[in-house]
Chain A
């Protein structure tokens, strides 16, 4: 049974691919192997097969022979749409794509990356490994559903989800996503928050539960000048100015944009991504670090220390 279904789907694909003109349903039933039973059950079979092929990403065109007459609808698959067309692909490019696919090893899109790799290898182009270093970058994610975001970006869909914000309270957000990015092992997506009509960035692991996909606003336009690469740079207009004792605070120094030596201390400037994370890291270093500015950061740290005294003092 199972193999008959696949066989019929393959035969249908071949027939629809090979034809230049549209072929009608009755022609399909007459000529393609596997359509059996009453005309009603054939119809049902064909409808299901069409849906199945579409779910495999195969586009079936519907048309008629003569637009003036209300003819029976015909079907075909366009070779150009069916085939992989990346233009001329060089050996070097194939190698780069292999490495790109390997980066997903063990991460959420591993299977998709492998399938893509098989298709690329089917182009019959030799791999040029000589030219590329042997270090493969890695993705790390906890099995996130990344395609749900990219599909929503492509189709301007609204995603609804529960988000845990800085204050650790959960709130329902409704967002048209416009960008997806990963930094330092975390995945982020940004989008236009529908309630405030502004671009916001969300961290994937702070989304509680799953996404609900909804039809997006009709007149949605991706905000101009949006560049996911710059997303963090723009947010980090404010920098913290702090002093770090010589030979200490290595993890803070790694974040520094600039460092000046002032005797027994170094004065560094750190772009602020997240005030709370930074203050926690600063608190960790105790009296090896002194914060000059901004005033908000000082206040958070002083409040944190006072809390500590109240609890344990």
Chain B
């Protein structure tokens, strides 16, 4: 139910609901660009224009220019006037109330007890929302992860700095100290994992965040973002999972109408891999840690299947990793040779985290 069906955005009820929420939003965000507005409401710009066009025809009975809402969006920026009846936001639904109250609960458990001001504000908000949607205050949630650890890890990801962690391995029942370069935080089967390059193991590892006993920043050798000199070293067998236009264009043996699990064997040079400029790949890595746009983050959380070869760590593993991750919804990567453990990124993060 977390997944939105694409066609849903155009169902009459969904549209009505969205248009009712559009009026108060534009009212307090006068002059917002069409593109931004479409992003906020998670629809295409075309759909947004269609919504606004319909709204433009609505108003009080009589439907003369005096009674209609005054919407202007031809310039690409949206303003609204003469919409007093719908100007205030709609009340929240039961489901939305549940989401907020439980969200506040889990937030409270992650805030240090010294911040009494925040705790009090959260309690007051919970009560007000619960009353609004007739929700019994019998909901309780708590985060079982040390917020000191998560804060340190997130900061390290956004600054691309190293971490010294002490990690409890359940299998060995030992606490080890490791220096890692964190890449991203992933969720798998109800637990959060840190995907990182471990300098102790000299390979990529997944660490369960709730088993990280402590974390502090540590100096590490930063990955370089300049392209490696010899790009011919990688050879992949590429399985086209979801053919899109750019996949088809780059795959000479592809013919329209071919079964979707057709396999292609070809060399991929660095030029092929660098579809996005380096700057943007870096941006991708930062983006995940900043968690600015929720939907975007979801889109990037693509699970890697299979394994792929990467350049030696000193080179552009970081660049490569993000490139491959971005396109792994189209491709399945299989290494053909050069299977050297130090250069091999473990693919599926859903694999059980091992030490």
Chain A residues in the interface with B (C-beta under 8 A): 2-3, 5-7, 9-11, 13-15, 17-18, 31-33, 52, 55-58, 79, 81-87, 90, 92-93, 96-97, 99-116, 118-124, 131-143, 145-147, 150-151, 153-154, 178-186, 222, 226, 228-229, 231, 248-251, 285, 288
CB interface residues, B 78-126, toward A, < 8 Å:
85-86, 88-100, 102-104, 106-107, 109-111, 117-118, 121-122, 124-125
| B residues in contact with A132, CB < 8 Å | 118
Report 11 cross-chain contacts, Cβ distance below 8 Å, ordered by A residue.
A5-B16, A14-B60, A87-B128, A93-B121, A100-B104, A105-B298, A110-B294, A137-B109, A138-B106, A181-B139, A182-B106
Q: Which residue of the partner chain, among B21, B129, B138, B144, contacts A180 with CB atoms under 8 Å? A: B138
> Chain A contacts of B58 at CB under 8 A?
7, 10-11, 14
Contact A55 B88 (CB under 8 A): no
Residue of B nearest to A141 (CB): B190
* Given known A105-B291, A137-B143, A181-B140, contact A32–B61 (CB-CB < 8 A): yes
Q: How far is the CB of A206 from chain B (nearest CB, A)?
A: 14
Q: Name B residues whose Cβ lies closer than 8 Å to a Cβ of A.
A: 1-2, 4, 10-13, 15-17, 19-21, 24-25, 27-29, 40-42, 50, 53-55, 57-63, 85-86, 88-100, 102-104, 106-107, 109-111, 117-118, 121-122, 124-125, 128-129, 132, 134-136, 138-145, 147, 150-151, 154-155, 168, 170, 173-175, 187, 189-192, 213, 291, 294, 297-298, 301
Known: A56-B20, A105-B298, A142-B189. 20 other contacts (CB 8 A): A6-B12, A6-B19, A7-B57, A7-B58, A86-B129, A93-B125, A97-B125, A105-B291, A122-B21, A122-B25, A135-B110, A136-B291, A137-B109, A140-B190, A143-B1, A150-B94, A153-B136, A181-B140, A226-B138, A250-B168
> Is B129 touching A115 in the complex (CB atoms < 8 A)?
no
Contact at A228–B139, with CB atoms within 8 Å? yes
CB distance B61 to A31 under 8 Å? yes
Q: A181-B139, A222-B136 are in contact. Are A248 and B173 (CB under 8 A)?
A: yes
Smallest CB separation, A52 vs chain B (Å) = 6
Residues on A with beta carbons closer than 8 Å to the beta carbon of B147? 133, 135, 137
Contact B50 A3 (CB under 8 A): yes
Q: Which residues of B contact A3 (CB under 8 A)?
A: 15, 50, 53-54
Residue numbers in B under 8 Å from A81 (CB-CB): 91
Query: Chain B residues near A103 (CB, 8 Å)?
Result: 103, 106-107
Contacts of A139 in B (CB 8 A): 102-103, 106, 141
B90 touches A183 (CB 8 A): no
Q: B85 to A101, Cβ gap below 8 A?
A: no
